[in-house]
Amino acid sequence: MGRIAVREIYAQIPVEIPLRSIRRREDSVPPSEAFMRERAGGGGSLTGDEGVLVVRKASGGYELLAGDRDFLRWAASGKETGPAVVLELEDVEALFVRLVLGSNRRELNPLEEARIYQRLTAEFGMSQEEIGAEIGKVQSTIANKLRLLRLEREIQEGIRSGQIGERHARALLRLDDPELRLRLFRECVRKSWSAEEMELAVAVKSGIRSPLQAKNRRRVGIYRDLRIFQNSLRQIAREMLRAGLRCEVAEEDSGGRWVFKVAVSVEEEASRGKTVGGGSQAGRPDVSERT
């Protein structure tokens, strides 16, 4: 059908239509503000077309394709009509318009997007590569969205309603145990975890992969938990060295204790007039990493 021409759609003259005649799509729940902050560039429209709905003619009225936030705001305020571009589209065309405009206006819920991809492949026989060519996305992006549909129904509803964002959900996909995914999802909702906190929790839980004897599971679990913090400390030390600071790094692991030491030559750095992030990196000592 060719690449969706967004400019041509918005070039059409909008007309006033009754809001009560507009039907929203089943999964059309605008993503939460937390999810929007995960997207690069912040919130708001990319097209600058807030205040104009895009609809298609449907049985008994219109189907909303773009402008969910405007529609909901107007309906809540008691407004009876709103400006809309009215299109006549087949089902497959409507799905593509929803994908492109909903994404441009940052109002497309990730679960709705995944289900549209599923419909395009299952009902219309399109490959992921063909879908990507239509909307300007690579095949792997579409495949990752479709993976959200593998999650349990409760988690999918959490995505749809904005309880968690896509980044939270993709972290959960790293776990093979459905019950464990559900437990972490519920804890995430209860404690309002950030995406980083969810990723850390998943990393901790996925540290135990193979079946071990019960007496060893606790010891291995604690060790793998510790490795997350060990690597973080090593990264901080590397950043100090990259910044030109003269420091020595040493690790010691004996007697059930792990010691990490960083010695910084503060007086020497002050005499050179250096600041963090500047100066020569010559004389940098080697950092020995242990895994």
DSSP string for 30-91 = PPPHHHHHHSTT-SS-SSS-TT-EEEEEETTEEEEEE-HHHHHHHHHHT--EEEEEEE---H
pLDDT score of 218: 45
pLDDT score of 29: 65
Whether 32 shows a pLDDT value over 60: the answer reads no
Same domain, residue pair 84 and 72: yes
Residue scoring higher pLDDT (231 or 93): 93
Q: Is residue 138 part of a domain?
A: yes
Same domain, residue pair 88 and 22: yes
Same domain, residue pair 186 and 85: no
Same domain, residue pair 136 and 165: no
Same domain, residue pair 157 and 52: no
Alpha helices in the chain (DSSP H): 6-11, 33-38, 68-77, 91-104, 110-122, 128-135, 139-147, 153-161, 166-172, 178-191, 195-205, 214-242, 266-272
Same domain, residue pair 182 and 56: no
Tell me the pLDDT tens digit for each residue of 164-223. 999 999 999 999 999 999 999 999 999 999 999 999 999 988 874 433 333 444 444 444
Host domain of residue 160: 153-205
Same domain, residue pair 80 and 128: yes
Residue scoring higher pLDDT (104 or 85): 85
110-122 vs 139-147: helix crossing angle, rounded to 10: 110
Q: Is residue 273 part of a domain?
A: no
Same domain, residue pair 181 and 112: no
Asked whether the beta carbons of 135 and 4 are under 8 A apart, the reply is: yes
Of 76-80, 126-130, 246-250, 285-289, give the lowest mean pLDDT range.
Answer: 285-289
Q: What is the mean pLDDT of residues 15-22?
A: 96
Same domain, residue pair 116 and 182: no
Residue scoring higher pLDDT (267 or 87): 87
Q: Is residue 278 part of a domain?
A: no
d(CA 85, CA 66): 10
Q: Label residue 245 by pLDDT band (50, 70, 90).
A: confident
pLDDT score of 30: 56
Tell me the pLDDT tens digit for each residue of 47-57. 445 689 999 99
Asked whether the beta carbons of 56 and 89 are under 8 A apart, the reply is: yes
Q: Is residue 216 part of a domain?
A: no
Domain boundary among 205, 221, 244: 205
Q: What is the mean pLDDT of residues 58-81?
A: 91
Same domain, residue pair 37 and 91: yes
Same domain, residue pair 65 and 164: no
Q: Among residues of the chain, what percentage have pLDDT more than 70?
A: 73
Tell me the pLDDT tens digit for each residue of 97-143. 999 998 888 888 899 999 999 999 999 999 999 999 999 899 999 99
139-147 vs 128-135: helix crossing angle, rounded to 10: 110
Residue scoring higher pLDDT (256 or 105): 105
Q: Is residue 34 part of a domain?
A: yes
